[in-house]
């Protein structure tokens, strides 16, 4: 697994905002893509990965333009609300943790955020009675199941998207991440581990036609046995087990049922990136590329994007444009010799 000023219009208005729109797309009189929320509330109970405690969570419908918000039900109401936005990220070590001005935090939010992104849920209130979202099985699949059970409904307001106008990247030695303009939503990821059970893996995907549920949702978080033992000794990942993570020891996978995908490791890193990038507050129309990056780089990338007003603009999209999204496999830097392509 892995505060600064809000962009104009991000606080209090998550709907369509015509902001320095350079594309002119999505502004015709044709039918526009609408915002979506849950049809009804739905709850689950699970284990917190890091604290090891039992936690309950309820996903609730939310009004249009409210975005995704977390609410700590074990905290006094005045300080319980935490917006799920990039500038609320307070920790990226081993997970993505959000915090508010009162110091209240909610951790391990990335898998749930990925599921909400993949299910195209724009507005929801997430109530949790502890400091972490339950880890469930270590993937986004249980959260996709919850959303599907609750159902999703359209709302009157137009769905807001973020259009990219220029290449934005962050680089920390071996760890790199970038966003580039493109017609649709796609991503590529590369990892490289010394472990022969993982080694070097590439993955590329266009998020169209239910691809998230089919190709990414079931990919679980993973770790190495020697690191797990060290973290346990340090009092961390108290809730971690083979029930909610893939554990690697040398060239062996310790989970009795093995892997869900041959390249489950790189797929999970891509899943994490989708969840972290949904903290932009809207879908990003363009291409994400990650190389050995993680939660820190994903958040740094959003900060770099929003600090450059020429790099992006808010827009809305028509149903016609959304249906025309195509997947172009583009690695704009350090293109690998072989790419696993799924669409």
**Neighbouring residues of 2: CB distance < 8 A, sequence distance ≥ 6:** 92, 94, 95, 96, 110, 221, 269, 272, 294, 295
With contact defined as beta carbons under 8 Å apart, do 205 and 186 qualify? yes
pLDDT of residue 318: 93
How many Å separate Cα 288 from the centre of its chain? 12
Q: Rounded to two decimals, what is the model's pTM?
A: 0.87
With contact defined as beta carbons under 8 Å apart, do 49 and 135 qualify? yes
**Neighbouring residues of 234: CB distance < 8 A, sequence distance ≥ 6:** none
Residue-wise pLDDT tens digits, 44-72 = 999 998 888 999 999 999 999 999 999 99
* Secondary structure (3-state) at 341: strand
pLDDT of residue 161: 97
**Domains of the chain and any CATH numbers:** 34-342 (3.30.1700.10)
Residue with tokens 């526009």: 32
Measured distance CA(12)–CA(309) in Å, rounded: 20
Q: Among all residues, which ones are annotated catalytic?
A: 295
pLDDT of residue 6: 32
Measured distance CA(158)–CA(279) in Å, rounded: 19
Q: Where are the alpha helices (DSSP H) in 179-263?
A: 211, 225-233
Tokens of 211: 């691809």
Residue-wise pLDDT tens digits, 79-128 = 899 999 999 999 999 899 999 999 999 999 999 999 999 999 999 999 99
With contact defined as beta carbons under 8 Å apart, do 31 and 318 qualify? yes
Q: What are phi and psi of 182, to 5 degrees?
A: -175, 165
pLDDT of residue 164: 97
| Residue ranges of the chain whose pLDDT lies below 70 | 1-29, 326-343
Measured distance CA(176)–CA(300) in Å, rounded: 10
* H helices, E strands: number in the chain: 7, 21
């Amino acid at each position: 697994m892995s505060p600064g000023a809000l962009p104009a219009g991000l606080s209090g208005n998550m709907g369509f905002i015509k902001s320095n729109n350079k594309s002119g797309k999505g502004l015709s009189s044709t039918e526009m893509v609408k915002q979506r929320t849950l049809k009804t509330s739905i709850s689950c109970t699970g284990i917190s990965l890091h604290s090891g405690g039992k936690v309950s969570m309820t996903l609730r419908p939310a009004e249009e333009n409210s975005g995704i918000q977390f609410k700590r039900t074990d905290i006094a109401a005045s300080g319980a609300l935490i917006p799920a936005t990039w500038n609320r990220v307070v920790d990226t070590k081993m997970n993505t943790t959000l915090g508010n001005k009162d110091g209240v935090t909610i951790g391990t939010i990335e898998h749930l955020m990925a599921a909400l992104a993949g299910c195209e849920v724009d507005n929801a209130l997430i109530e949790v009675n502890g400091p972490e979202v339950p880890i469930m099985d270590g993937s986004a699949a249980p959260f996709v199941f919850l959303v599907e059970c609750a159902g999703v409904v359209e709302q009157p307001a137009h769905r807001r998207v973020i259009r990219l106008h220029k290449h934005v990247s962050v680089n920390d030695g071996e760890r790199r991440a970038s966003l580039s303009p493109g017609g649709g939503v796609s991503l590529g990821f590369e990892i490289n581990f010394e472990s022969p059970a993982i080694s070097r893996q590439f993955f590329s995907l266009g998020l169209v036609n239910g691809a998230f549920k089919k190709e990414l949702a079931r990919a679980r978080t993973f770790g190495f046995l020697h690191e797990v033992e060290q973290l346990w000794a340090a009092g961390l990942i108290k809730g971690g087990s083979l029930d909610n993570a893939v554990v690697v020891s040398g060239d062996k996978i310790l989970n009795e049922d093995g892997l869900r995908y041959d390249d489950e490791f790189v797929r999970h890193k891509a899943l994490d990136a989708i969840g972290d990038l949904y903290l932009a507050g809207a879908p990003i129309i363009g291409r994400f590329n990650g190389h050995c990056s993680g939660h820190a780089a994903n958040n740094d990338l959003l900060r770099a994007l929003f600090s450059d007003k020429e790099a992006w603009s808010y827009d809305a999209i028509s149903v016609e444009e959304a249906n025309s999204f195509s997947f172009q496999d583009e690695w704009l830097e350090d293109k690998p010799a072989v790419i696993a392509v799924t669409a």
